[in-house]
Amino acid sequence: YWYLVAANIGAVIMPWMVFYQQSAVADKGLKPEQYAAARWDTAVGAVLTQLIMAAVLMVTAAVLWAGRSTAPLNTVGQIAQALTPTLGETLGRTVFGLGILGAAMVAAIVVALAAAWGFGEVTGYKHSLEQHPAEAPWFYAVFSAGVIGGALVVAFVPDLVALSIGVEVMNALMLPLVLGFLVALAAKALPPEHRLRGGYFWLVIAVVALTAGLGVYGGLSSLFS
């Protein structure tokens, strides 16, 4: 149970999303007066995606409970087989397939962009979506390699469910390091008018400590159970 809790935390708060967010803000060239709108954009997106995730979890639980299903759910095919009959074979498989395709496309773009931006910041090569591939060849090469590499992993790894859960748990185990540095930077490195301070600072500390602590506890619990 706790292992899956850690996976859920790692699926919601992914370390690479922190790097993606800051790189996206920098690439857009946002000005200080636009930060409030950017925060609202991020907040609305975060709430919306979590509502969708919660809805999917509840619908899945209701469908499996109503059918008293005892079939294993160890592969994507088994999950599809358990969920699709409620909507009918054709419609169910179509809806399930479109959902998987949409999620995969968004994930591939975001993860690959985070990697391409990150390597660009470390190495110094041009790394902006505003630049043509001829102007930033390494940026687009790293992005393409990330998408193609992900596709190859999906094509050749036999147990995608275990891989997905394992990656999410790894994300959870990395949270103390990533979020710790993020809070430190927000409290010390930002211009004074944008730094974390006062009660909000301690609220952020408490939320980060609780989230990261649960993630680490859940991720390590399987090693000692």
pLDDT greater at residue 80 or residue 68: 80
Q: What is the pLDDT of residue 84?
A: 77
Establish if 118 belongs to a structural domain: yes
Residue with tokens 């609780």: 210
Cα 127 from Cα 120, distance rounded (Å): 5
Nearest to 127 by CA among 25, 27, 18: 27
Establish if 71 belongs to a structural domain: no
Residue 7 is encoded by which pair of tokens?
């996976």
pLDDT tens column, 123-175: 998 999 889 999 999 999 999 999 999 889 888 888 888 888 999 999 999 99
Instruction: Tell me the residue range of the domain where 115 lies.
Output: 93-156
Strands of the chain (E only): list them: none
Cα 19 from Cα 64, distance rounded (Å): 37
Tell me what the mean pLDDT of segment 52-56 comes to. Answer: 87
Q: What is the pLDDT of residue 171?
A: 92
pLDDT confidence band for 69 (50 / 70 / 90) = low
Establish if 114 belongs to a structural domain: yes
Q: What is the pLDDT of residue 60?
A: 81
Q: Does residue 29 register a pLDDT over 90?
A: no
Q: Does residue 54 register a pLDDT over 80?
A: yes
Name the packing angle between helices 89-123 and 15-28 (round to 10°): 70
Tell me what the mean pLDDT of segment 60-66 comes to. Answer: 79
pLDDT greater at residue 216 or residue 13: 216
Establish if 58 belongs to a structural domain: no
Establish if 150 belongs to a structural domain: yes
3-state secondary structure of 78: helix
Residue 141 is encoded by which pair of tokens?
């090469």
Residue with tokens 């995730």: 53
pLDDT tens column, 116-129: 998 998 899 899 98
pLDDT tens column, 30-45: 888 888 898 899 899 9
Establish if 136 belongs to a structural domain: yes
Nearest to 6 by CA among 156, 181, 188, 219: 219
Percent of the chain whose pLDDT exceeds 90: 39
Q: Are 173 and 215 in contact (CB under 8 A)?
A: yes
Total count of domains within the chain: 1
pLDDT confidence band for 68 (50 / 70 / 90) = low
Establish if 106 belongs to a structural domain: yes
Q: Does residue 209 register a pLDDT over 70?
A: yes
Could you tell me the CA-to-CA distances from 187 to 2, 5, 25, 167 in Å, in that order? 31, 29, 19, 29
